[in-house]
Structure 1
Amino acid sequence: MPGKSHGPRSLRGYSPWSHKESDTTERLHFHFHFVFTRSSSLPWGDLFEMWWFQQGLSFLPSALVIWTAAAFIFSYITAITLHHVDPVLPYISDTGTVAPEKCLFGAMLNIAAVLCVATIYVRYKQVHALNPEENRIIRLNKAGLVLGLLSCLGLSLVANFQKTTFFAVHVCGAVLTFGMGSLYMFVQTILSYQMQPKIHGKQVFWIRLLLVIWCGVSAFSMLTCSSLLYNGSFGADIVQKLHWNPEDKGYVLHMITTAAEWSMSLSFFGFFLTYIRDFQKISLRVEATLHGLTLYDTAPCPVNNERTWLLSRDV
């Protein structure tokens, strides 16, 4: 009920979609409230009884990394077992090019894209609520949201358009995934720098900075070697090539490119794992506001409304 407090004492950072009563419109509105809490206000017994992934929304980045890694691993094992790709450092997308692994690869990465959207959006709302009056941080935060969502779109394109069928779309998706994803990490690292030490410690910033440097080195290596590999010097059919031998032309460039791609993916995993601690301090709930007792076009009347937890309880 609206009149009752939810959970222990907390710092409540409500989103711009705050609750407003309306007596003139008969609609059903859903308001999302982000609640920031201080674990120190909890009894120690209650805190220790909870697993780390039960605190706040920390399960979101955890699920994103675990699910995406599982998509890569299961597709790789299937492709290797069926001899569709070479066991030593294939392209990640090559492990999802041929049926049946491409079905598994596409389905799991689509779910990963949804988890990524949720994680990026919650991070955006968290930074916004923590810095409601910092214009520079607000602008960077919005830019990070756009870059992150574009990266999620690219992940879905990579999952559903294989390089052997729609090469141009597949490459576009890869550029969005890795390019926009790298820029997203860079923007979030800048935000971490500007929010320390007031919002969090310096350690978080330095960890994210190291991961961004790791990602940048991997991206540069992949871009340079792939440009040399696909400039036409090694034949036009190299785009469709799934099996490589050490004596093949361009083999070294191919191995460097694939190693850089896997390395870049690992840097992404590491970066999202740094969100776990931050997401332990935030919860999400949905509020349904009714403007009438029925769904007919009748005069609105005041009704009792409810607030319920959508994903996680206030910790």
Structure 2
Amino acid sequence: MWWFQQGLCFLPSALVIWTAAAFIFSYIIAITLHHVDPALPYISDTGTLPPEKCLFGAMLNIAAVLCIATIYVRYKQVHALNPEESRIIRINKAGLALGLLSCFGLSIVANFQKTDFFAVHICGAVLTFGMGSLYMLVQTVLSYQMQPKIHGKQVFWIRLLLVIWCGVSALTMLTSSSFLHSGKFGTDVDQKLHWNPEDKGYVLHMITTAAEWSMSFSFFAFFLTYVRDFQKISLRVEANLQGLTLYDTAPCPVNNDRTRLLSRDL
């Protein structure tokens, strides 16, 4: 059996590969058509103009679905491993809510381009990166709470380092972006797709974009830490029938159907 056939580990793997492909393909098309500069454009800039924006939006919508599935499976796994730990259950529910909000923000980023709906796009980016960072923090806390009985210390330290990486990138992006959009460097920085080294705010722009890409990579690396955990879980779906027909209202005992969902038992 190949590693990606074990449990549900293909979910986080597919999420990272698909999302990275969305960024790379959109970047290549935008560079080829000279819609953005090759040197570190904003991720959203590579999906602003057609035709790359069509591919960018479609692929990120699918990535949001994969992210929802991954976050939900992680939630069910932690809940199953700690059925009587009230503190962990509460933290786990908070992580689920934060993760779903981040996925919703990703869908907004995919469908509302920066040059057309700047305010909506920024709200989506705040949800994606802000709630996503908090989700990573919550999952790291859960890893700490479950060690060493359920989680190994090595996994906790790896996730903690990734959270620190994400936090430094987020703080850098927030600080440099605040200065860049303060009005001292012109009023067109929100819509600007091409930057020259002679432009005012060019250095801040490069710092902001580098921090954005760095933060995205920290997300990718964090979800890859789920691969080993997801090798040890599978889900089942159970259909409880209340009658022999779809229009029969009288209760009637029938056999229930229990089948595997997406994976085989281990």
Shorter-chain TM-score bucket reads over 0.9
Residue-by-residue CA offset, 1:21-61 (whole Å, 9 max, x unaligned): xxxxxxxxxxxxxxxxxxxxxxxxxxxxx111111100000
Match of 1:71 among 19, 22, 35: 22
Identity rate, percent = 88
Match of 2:129 among 175, 178, 181: 178
Counterpart mapping for 1:149-188 below 5 A: 149-188=100-139
Aligned AA (2:194): H
Structure 2: distance between partners of 1:298 and 1:290: 11
Deviation, structure 1 residue 200: 1.7
- Aligned partner of 1:245 in structure 2 is 196
SS of equivalent residue, structure 2 residue 46: helix
Match of 1:289 among 237, 240, 253: 240
Match of 1:303 among 239, 249, 254: 254
Aligned AA (2:193): L
Structure 1: distance between partners of 2:203 and 2:247: 69
SS of equivalent residue, structure 1 residue 237: coil
TM-score, scaled to structure 2: 0.99
SS of equivalent residue, structure 1 residue 290: coil
Higher percent of residues as helix: 2
Structure 1: distance between partners of 2:249 and 2:136: 50
Structure 1: distance between partners of 2:116 and 2:151: 47
1:195 is the counterpart of 2:146? yes
Structure 1: runs of 5 or more not aligned: 1-49
Structure 2: distance between partners of 1:299 and 1:83: 66
Count residues in correspondence: 266
SS of equivalent residue, structure 1 residue 294: coil
Structure 2: distance between partners of 1:298 and 1:128: 35
SS of equivalent residue, structure 2 residue 83: coil
- Aligned partner of 1:261 in structure 2 is 212
Could you say which structure has the larger radius of gyration? Answer: 1
Structure 1: distance between partners of 2:249 and 2:116: 55
Structure 2: distance between partners of 1:136 and 1:95: 42
Deviation, structure 1 residue 64: 0.3
- Aligned partner of 1:98 in structure 2 is 49
Match of 2:72 among 121, 124, 128: 121
Query: Which runs of 4 or more aligned residues in structure 1 lie more than 4 Å from their structure 2 counterparts after TM superposition?
Result: none
Higher percent of residues as strand: 1
Structure 2: distance between partners of 1:189 and 1:72: 26
Structure 2: distance between partners of 1:139 and 1:298: 38
- Aligned partner of 2:59 in structure 1 is 108
Deviation, structure 1 residue 298: 4.4
- Aligned partner of 1:15 in structure 2 is none
SS of equivalent residue, structure 1 residue 245: coil
TM-score, scaled to structure 1: 0.83
Structure 2: distance between partners of 1:299 and 1:285: 28
Q: Which has the higher contact order (CA 8 A, sep 6+)?
A: 1
